[in-house]
Amino acid sequence: MRTSSVDKLILALLEKEDGHLTANRIFKRLQPRLPALNASTVYRALERLAHGGQVSVSDMGTGAVVYAGVSRPLHHHLVCQQCRRTVTIDDAALRPLFEAIGGRFDFQLTTNHLILFGLCPACRKEKG
């Protein structure tokens, strides 16, 4: 199987997916369509796509990195460390902060998916 075919299928899957997927989940979603596909091919393709800037790689605190297509509107997340509730934040809310940090340190930021961890209101209330 040509690597470009696998790359295209992964990008198409990530494009239509509403959330973020692990490499294993991507493999399981694609394998019925491509029975000869193996997990290592998916991992190599994801690495290639990430280095090419076509997918974002993030740690959302689940124990496995997740992948998302970068053609979707940029966004960021708040993740509760206790219940795993995830809140999506529009990029416009954080873009001024990124620009200020980049300007302050004369640094060109390439972050396209920021994950901030903490406790949601319900979990804070439980802790009393």
Could you give the number of structural domains in the chain?
2
pLDDT-flagged residues of the chain (< 70): 1-3
43 and 86 in a single domain? The answer is no
49 and 88 in a single domain? The answer is no
Residue 114 CA to residue 94 CA, distance in Å, equals: 9
Looking at 20, 42, 69, the residue that finishes a domain is: 69
Quick one: which of 20, 88, 79, 89 has its CA closest to 55? 20
Tell me if the pTM is above 0.85: no
* pLDDT at residue 11, as a whole number: 93
* pLDDT at residue 2, as a whole number: 58
DSSP code of residue 44: H
CATH number of the domain where residue 84 is located: 3.30.1490.190
Tokens of 56: 């974002």
* pLDDT at residue 71, as a whole number: 74
* pLDDT at residue 116, as a whole number: 94
114 and 82 in a single domain? The answer is yes
57 and 87 in a single domain? The answer is no
Which residues constitute the domain of residue 62? 3-69
DSSP code of residue 75: E
64 and 79 in a single domain? The answer is no
* pLDDT at residue 3, as a whole number: 58
* pLDDT at residue 101, as a whole number: 95
